[in-house]
Amino acid sequence: MVDNPLQTVFCGIKMASPIVLLSGCVGFGEEYTRVEGYSNADVGAVVLKGTTGEARLGNPGHRVYETPDGMLNAIGLQNPGVAKVVDDILPGLDFSETRFFANVSGSTIEEYERVTRRFDDSDIDAIEINISCPNVKEGGVQFGNNPEMSAKVVAACRAQTSKPIITKLSPNQTDIQENARLCIEAGTDGFAVINTLMGMTIDSETREPIIGNVRGGLSGPAIKPIALLKVQQVYEVAKMHGTPIIGQGGIMNATDAIEFMLAGAAAVGVGTALFYDPLVCPKINSGIESYLRRHNKDSVSELVGTLKLP
């Protein structure tokens, strides 16, 4: 085997591991390093918390609620705004340990452009576009649920940066393949598949929603079968253009991660699993290496898209 069989190249970026820590799960990169025993060197990249043009306080509580086999969250993009992130937070990150991806969010295409342009003039390695945001100019419809609207956001951001763009696709749409195709044409360099599924939870005694925002994003093992299918579907489109995918949605261990690679993911996103076990990443790395040895593979790239379909 090669010296580091876990080494991954995603959108031209060399990463020491295929593991990507997902946006919103580790704050702005520095918070999680306070966990004893954790090291950013164990992961290939860290996606920073969703960032908007101006500071946002987020949604009212409750914001997070544990569900059977998962978690429901409605944080509401609480963040200090892009200027604070670029000027005060990024300089404190150790870019020698791992790669850092920004997560750009907005309520208008103009806001996406402005935030992307600000991150372009920074040390950030890549820019993830969260298109699962409501478009205030279109009555609140989410950008990510309309392929044409998704492509407009990607094209607008593409014009503002030379950094790799990763488009985070929503599962809450009719045709994810058409969305992927149009986003590729608009200039995306990669995909993150999938974002959370929309759900809610109810207190039967009070007859009220538990989440203050009524609905939230469902993540964790409960959504894994859906996420695997969406990765496989997007891969069928993306492979023709050499567009890599971060597969995410319920990855809790090495076996989960390998399944996503077989379905077409070049890298794997870990999020909710960190709430169960903050030190899960080295275990996933070790499990992937063991799998590669057992199957006489030299690198994780040899697994990508090798699912045997009937």
Catalytic residue numbers read 133
CA distance 253 to 222: 14
Distance CA 153, CA 300 (A): 32
Give yes or no for a cis peptide into 13 (omega within 30° of 0): no
Structure letter (DSSP) for residue 91: G
Cα 49 to chain center, whole Å?
A: 10
Neighbours of 162 (CB within 10 A): 7
Backbone angles phi, psi at 274, to 5 degrees: -65, -25
Question: CB of 82 within 8 A of CB of 111?
Answer: no
Q: How far apart are CA 305 and CA 26, in angstroms?
A: 28
What does residue 165 show for φ and ψ, rounded to 5 degrees? Answer: -110, 130
CA max distance for the chain: 59
**Beta bridge partners of residue 173, listed in sequence order:** none
